[in-house]
Structure 1
């Protein structure tokens, strides 16, 4: 029974065959024939598909070659064609476009995905042949004054098209059964036979690990293109099969050496593209796929902030403010900018729908089992003399999805990874700490890491004495992730090495490392008892030094320290008043808002002396008025509070301020002040 096109899985992009194309614009007879000649020649020059659907593609390519010969003769002897001939040519042009599109789609697609869809795709080839046959049957050949040879070619082509039937190569069908049997065996936890895997992937034309990695990328693209969950699960199963085969047949990948430049980036998924800071999610520092805005006005990637909220947090990760609600508003303007930037950089961008998280494939039993088998295989390999490639594979696997993170932790990988945190090999150390970072994204793994003997201390040692800035930055990011659990915030904050290590990294690291440190400090500073320790460690000075290169993060840290700290925190931040005033004038909206909020807290806690310092900034009232009129809603409220403090101070009314705060001694450049008790 013929398979209809309705069985094609629903896709977001163009399916293998275009169901209908707009009719081409009206053009002259000569141009129309020339267009058909070029189209047929272009198809004739295409290579038939290799390994799968070869006979189907070769058949239509040969037919195009015959048509090219006929059109070439028509072009050499131009005549005026009848209206029926013109209509036939126009229909044939559409068929040619569809043939070309089908072959191109098949060439770009995953071979395994094509194999599972082979009946549908072979039907598409047959449908195009039938459409071509229909056009040839009504083509008024007798009006063309063709040579006998050309007429014979058309007769031959008509006969070939009319006798054509849907065809699936028996070898392709047998290969498909081998693949489906292997996947079905996984459901019953049957480990695939290595010789059968070699046979399958050799027949598919995958000679090495690089070709399998390319197939994984094609399957991941296919997953994003599918709409229905059944097709997503099928693609996910195939990805698991290829990953497992790649690992078993060719062993763990050899990681690339770290780049010589000191300013490392943690993620390499976008090659070495210089991603604009505004396009990165503040939580993961990766390119945002689905930017959304939370109630504080900050933008995050939907998947990251969803995970943050589902973990029980009710605060904004960047500012520490309590979220008034958990509604996530799509930032479509920013998403459009990201898409345009990706196109300019020739970087693929998965256009998720508004569902964001729901766009990722739902894990299926076969994919989970492939992942479990691959993890067990890698864990066994860790006992070998050269573990770096194995740890690199675990790092990549831990980044892929939550199923992999759970499987890796359940297999007992964390204690094994701990011993590599102190490795003298920079590459192995980076891979080990980054694997733990990726594992910590799963909430259950946070507890596993904290309870594993030596894991936390190992991460802290990498933070303090890591071989590279990248290793230190990833250790800081790991602490940020672990601090997502409220109880762990206090536990981490009690460790002096954590506090000092993060502050030192914020002071001395390159920009990307400073950002990781500041974000981790901001998260830990949400616990009031940690603030004093950060102040003593010099966090205010570290933030001051980062004002120019990381103003948003640095000001957010100062705001959190001043808001949750006592007079000691206000005293430490006294020297930043003028800098905060400058940021209110020149910074981005969120930075201006945070700077104003910091100054309000300082004026409220510090009294008239601090208000006097603020009033001494040239043009500060104009800056405040501008912010009241053009700033964000919260920024406008904070600016209005600042204006009230300035007005009371100018009027000599310090009674209300004094009632709210204790007096402090104003610091001079040559001494540090203490609160007056």
Structure 2
């Protein structure tokens, strides 16, 4: 008798596993259904995805009511695959809700690509479910088939962008002084109409600056400049309420009313030094410090226990308050009237007792407490350099490394991201490696959730800045896992993987590992897909692999000449430079490659590069033209 296939196994093979997976999927659907309605430039994409997911609810309600025990092992696996797709869908929807609306509008194609990825994942997972074998009603079956058809139609379908919005944004970014009508039109379409909207957008941009390692890209600086123009529009048009209706004229003859969001909930005075506590509420620093020093362990407004007593400056709100004061001719007070300044020496943003409390939860807490503590440390390590030093000095790194092996995916994700944030500090890099974190980070990279894998890749890149760590990371098996992420991750994940691979492949031994793992095939696929946004990274990695004895023939076998010549003609300056460098290496000592390059018109592209390329591109182009001249004279 032959082996029993998954489909032929008894229908109760899923057992308790079937119950668990149905509960997990049902919870995921409910969580997505409970998300707030999306606003901003991606509203339609978010609403369509959330609506389709909500329609899946009756399927899992019926399966859950039936106990889930009737699922076979194969069916349980297909439902588990669907759960993975739902988790990705929720992560995308949450990231859009929390993210910058300006960035989403300006980088719309990137987000459309992410939505298409999730849609394809959902459709594939739904297509693998055998609905005839499930104990569900005909009505529910018909509804699920309808949803599946909707996902099928949505695959590859790209909505047209709002051309007027793009025109307005480009104009507003380019011009120093903007027409208020244009700014108001932008604020309406991006749903940045109130002071609260502006605060949320400022936080989102601030998070992007932090995640860029403190060196924000030019686009972030442009968006921050545009956001200031939009903020000024809000404050000037209506400094007294949270709408954009113009009431400035009615304010000229009376003292402005302080917006509620600018008042400390304790003193009810205008805040001069707003800080955020662990519940997310903002208070005047001196007032909340006095409350804490009085022995209180709760948030005065929310009445929730404070998980720690660290106070994080709310720079965004402080900027808004300052702008409002300037607009209304108000001098910002030096001190709060009802609260005295805190004691000398207590001004540090690093709260050692709070961090030690979190450390105890990492060490001795249950799974829920460990997850929460790792999440808090993740955020604290992200906020400022002092926290990164304090957390490491408190001894948190070994416990975070231990949690990389946690069976709870969210705890694992928090732990690896906390280590990523801590690794920004140079001294912490050594502490993380000494805690034998690298093999466990590679384990997360191989088996974690998508976000955890992407952050693990970023952590390995951060650690690989130290040369000796490149060897350790390569030996731990990171390279095949990074290549896998390069193929399967989101655009951000692919870029994290590519950056880590580039840095690791500076070491010769890792080049060999990458080539043997098949990296060249994947890089060439990224190179011929300019819409994928990975051409820069693919070329940069090829440029360092082609100098390797194994790398050159592997690249030559992938028929790279047509692509490289095309990039030299139309690519960005850096890509033209790297394409010329790769082509030069391929043609040196290889008459066949040199002949192929000449036949495809490389000489003309190289001559143009001699005129307009970077210094390095000019050198490579000149050397390659000389090779061609010598070959023609031979």
- State the TM-score, normalized to the length of structure 1: 0.46
Higher relative contact order structure (alpha carbons within 8 Å, sequence separation ≥ 6): 1
- State the TM-score, normalized to the length of structure 2: 0.49
